[in-house]
Structure formats: structure tokens, C-alpha cells
Structure 1
């Protein structure tokens, strides 16, 4: 049985734009200084990840999102490990939810989990550096046999 985890970074709704920018910066897409490279075992991220839009219709069929999804992206590493990031709002809170994007082998799933954890950590650090209060959580998104 494989557990697939979902991670979430939550901020006050007025900081939604900061949250979106922080996720892009965590993925190395900001055009600024290169972030510390993602590492999993002996695999090191040596090239910039690719960020592409993810249709909200796809989000609805692929993931269970409790809040109102307003935008989504997929962040893919050069080795194919991908994380779907869904931006959602619910009243006074906005969040970025990070889901492993492909149902592959345990090794690929472990790499995607590591990549999601890296994105969450870097996003939270970026927001904290600008004075935005964040809350980070992790939950089980699904289980597969």
C-alpha cells in the first residue's frame, strides 16, 4: 500500500499574490538568484524545473480540493517528478496545495514527495522572509494498493 501525501501552505487571503510568487520562486522561476538545489538520494536537480498551467477542469478530476480552486500549475523536474500546485481560497484564507502528480512506482513517488516537501519548505521560507505569516500542514491525499 502506498500513501500519497498532500501538503499545504496557508496564508491570509490578502497575501495570495505573495503566495503565488513564492511558489514560482521556490521552483526557480523568479529570474532571481538560483535557489538551493533539490536533492533526493543521489539525484540532484541541476536544471530549472518546468512550470506549466494546469486546467481547473483537470484539477477537479485529479485531486480532491475542499476550497475553491482559482488557479493551478504543474512543476516538473528534469527527471519527470512532478507536483501539482493548486491555489485556492476559502474566506479569510488562501492556500497552495501540493500534490504528487503521477501515479508511478514507489521510487518515483518518493522523488515526487521529496520534491513537494522541498517546494513547500522553500515557499514557506520565502514568505516568512517577507513577513507573511504562514501555516504548513501535511495530510494523506490517497492510498493505493
Structure 2
């Protein structure tokens, strides 16, 4: 089955900067000796993930995103496991949407889905630790949707 998962962390609109910083912090702590390392099967994230900007023009062609996109990054682990994080903002809420970035094999997609879930869980935990209320959701679409 060819399914695509996307995850989302939502906060109040004024906390957009905290949300962006939390995603970057989590990505930087997900490699190396941190206890918050990403794991998938027998693969363990021991190298530091790379964070790079994702052009806003690319976001609309690559992903179906609802809302006004204000920033986007790609977080890559092991050179091939990548997640696009798209930040949106409206009058009430700010969100970080986590989408698998590549369309490789089912194994790579499963690793990317696991990586996205890890980033979401840790981002939400980091925000909650700073008394910022979060809402986490997961969406799934098939290739035929």
C-alpha cells in the first residue's frame, strides 16, 4: 500500500518563533549522544541531522499544504532520510507540518515516516516543557487520493 503520512504540531499564533526554534533544537539534538536519538529498526541516528532551507515556491509543488506558508526547511538524516517541515500561520494558530521529503522505496518511506514522528514527538515535548500548549495530529493519504 502506497501511503503518505504527514504530521502537524500546532500552537497559538504568537508562539510561531518558539515553534520554529523548537524544531531546530530537536533536529540538532536527534543525533550524537543525546538520549533523544532517532531509532528505526536496527538503524540509529548517530550523526547530526542537516537542516537546510526549502524554497517556498518548491513547497507548493511538492506538498499539498493548507494555510499561509511562512517558512520551510528540510531536515536530513543519513543523507537520504529527509523530512520537509513547513511552517504555516493564520490569525489564530501557527503550525509545523512534517512531510516525507522523498519518494524512494517503501523502506526509505518507512524510515522517513519514523523520522517525522520522532521530530513531532520531540518538538511537542520541548514546547510543552516551556509551558507552550501544543496540539499534535497525523494525517494519511494513499497515492490514489
TM-score (norm 2): 0.93
State the SS of the aligned residue for 1:37.
coil
Q: Which residue of 2 aligns with 1:76?
A: 76
For residues 40 and 143 of structure 2, the distance between their equivalents in structure 1, rounded to whole angstroms, comes to 22
Matched, 1:45 2:45: yes
Structure 1 unaligned blocks of 5 or more: none
Aligned-pair CA distance for 1:34:
3.6
State the SS of the aligned residue for 2:4.
strand
Deviations 1:104-144 (A, max 9, x none): 11100000000000000000000000000000000124526
Matched, 1:140 2:133: no
How many pairs align?
142
Q: Which residue of 1 aligns with 2:60?
A: 60
Q: Which residue of 2 aligns with 1:122?
A: 122
For residues 110 and 25 of structure 1, the distance between their equivalents in structure 2, rounded to whole angstroms, comes to 23
State the SS of the aligned residue for 1:131.
coil
Q: Which residue of 1 aligns with 2:90?
A: 90
State the SS of the aligned residue for 1:9.
strand
Task: Quote the RMSD (CA, aligned, Å).
Answer: 1.6
For residues 25 and 73 of structure 2, the distance between their equivalents in structure 1, rounded to whole angstroms, comes to 13
For residues 70 and 10 of structure 1, the distance between their equivalents in structure 2, rounded to whole angstroms, comes to 14
Deviations 1:11-50 (A, max 9, x none): 0000000000100011016xxx945110000000011000
For residues 78 and 133 of structure 2, the distance between their equivalents in structure 1, rounded to whole angstroms, comes to 32
Structure 2 unaligned blocks of 5 or more: none
